[in-house]
Amino acid sequence: MSQIQVIKVTKETMKKMQTFYEKHRLNKTVPYSEFVARIGNTTITAYTSGKVVFQGSDAEKIAAKWGSSLKTNKKTSSSSKKTTTLPANFSKLSVLGSDEVGNGSYFGPVTVCAAYVDKTMVEKLKALGVRDSKELTDPQIIQLSKVVKELIPYKLLIVEPEKYNQIQPKYNAVHMKVALHNQAIHLLLRDIEPIKPEAILIDQFTPETNYKKYVRSEKNQVSETLSFITKGEQYHVAVAAASIISRAAFLEELDKESAELGMKVPSGAGATSDKVAAKVIAKGGLDLLSKYVKLHFANTEKAKKIAAK
């Protein structure tokens, strides 16, 4: 059973938590968060508002170290979050999986990858170390991505910040991800024809009903049956491969931005992003900033205030 605990901490306590969990931080971006870390089976997500969410078997125990819960302990079966029931042998099937990276990061693009893993390749990829990208270091992800892309069919879509800012007024964050997942899957299915995957699994980022609502407006709507499940990389290596390729592309784009701007560009949407954005504004104004960040994030207004001092 999974527990959820939410506490509110001061800025001073938040700094202590950042230091304490530094070695346990995950390569994961969550909107308006300071950091995401994992201790054993418990995930800690700290938000800029001061709220910290603990989720996992030891949530209550770990949260108690830092403060009192804002709400009563909530126990949920992990299966209650799933909108898809997968067969017991799912991990051994030939599956097309998709995942995305960058949606919660102020700097950098949104990257979405669809990857097809034939059942004959499942064990080989696992032996290479293909697993949840959050369990790998950035250098490992970049190196592993190069190997994986030589072994399996995939389709990678990259929406640079400048393009993102043009699309964003029409597409909210969820709608944009739905469109990108659908397009990546559509293009990969076309590339691997006449092969038909035994299943298509999307790492779930919104309820299935919501996905279907947004995808209706897409030109190349995938008609095949889709499965949705959170932490999809735990259920099939195809999603793990898609996650690694997406993450590597995101990291490589951040490196390009850093080189172009002459300063280290961070991932995430914390205070460091505000400070770097302020330097970009000082260098070339909002016109320059718009080429490197997702302007609708609250970070933009914060950066403008810092730059004005």
Q: Is 198 left (phi over 0), alpha (psi -120 to 50) or beta?
A: alpha
pTM of the full predicted structure? 0.74
Which has the closest alpha carbon to 17: 40, 41, 50? 50
Task: Give 16-20 contacts, CB < 8 A, sequence gap 24+.
Answer: 17/44, 17/46, 17/52, 17/66, 18/46
pLDDT of residue 84: 59
pLDDT of residue 289: 97
pLDDT of residue 63: 84
Domain residue spans of the chain: 2-80, 90-255
Tokens at 100, concatenated: 């995305």
Q: Residue 247: which H helix or E strand, with range?
A: helix 237-261
Alpha carbon of residue 296 to chain centroid: 18
Which has the closest alpha carbon to 62: 23, 7, 102? 7
pLDDT of residue 70: 63
Fold for 90-255, please state it.
Answer: Nucleotidyltransferase; domain 5 (3.30.420)
Main-chain dihedrals φ then ψ at residue 2, nearest 5 degrees: -100, 140
Per-residue exposure over 208-233, b if at least 16 CB sit within 10 Å of its own CB, e if not:
eeebeebbeebeeebeeebbbbeebb
169 cis-preceded (ω within 30 degrees of 0): no
Tokens at 56, concatenated: 């996992």
pLDDT of residue 73: 44
pLDDT tens digit at each of 309 positions of the chain: 457 888 888 888 888 888 888 888 887 777 778 888 888 888 899 888 888 888 877 788 888 888 776 643 444 433 334 445 788 899 999 999 999 999 889 999 999 999 999 999 999 999 999 987 777 889 999 999 999 999 999 999 999 999 999 998 888 889 999 999 999 999 999 999 999 999 999 999 889 999 999 999 998 999 888 999 988 898 999 999 999 999 999 999 999 999 999 999 999 888 899 999 999 999 999 999 999 999 999 999 999 999 998
CA gap 177, 173 in Å, rounded? 6
> Cβ(274)–Cβ(299) under 8 Å?
yes
- What's the CA angle centered on 180, arms 174 and 184, to 5 degrees? 150
As a dihedral over the C-alpha atoms of residue 74, residue 36, residue 165, residue 207, rounded to 10 degrees, the angle is -30
Residue pointed to by tokens 């043009």 = 166
Fold for 2-80, please state it.
Answer: TATA-Binding Protein (3.30.310)
Q: Residue 286: which H helix or E strand, with range?
A: helix 271-289
CA gap 162, 181 in Å, rounded? 20
pLDDT of residue 297: 92
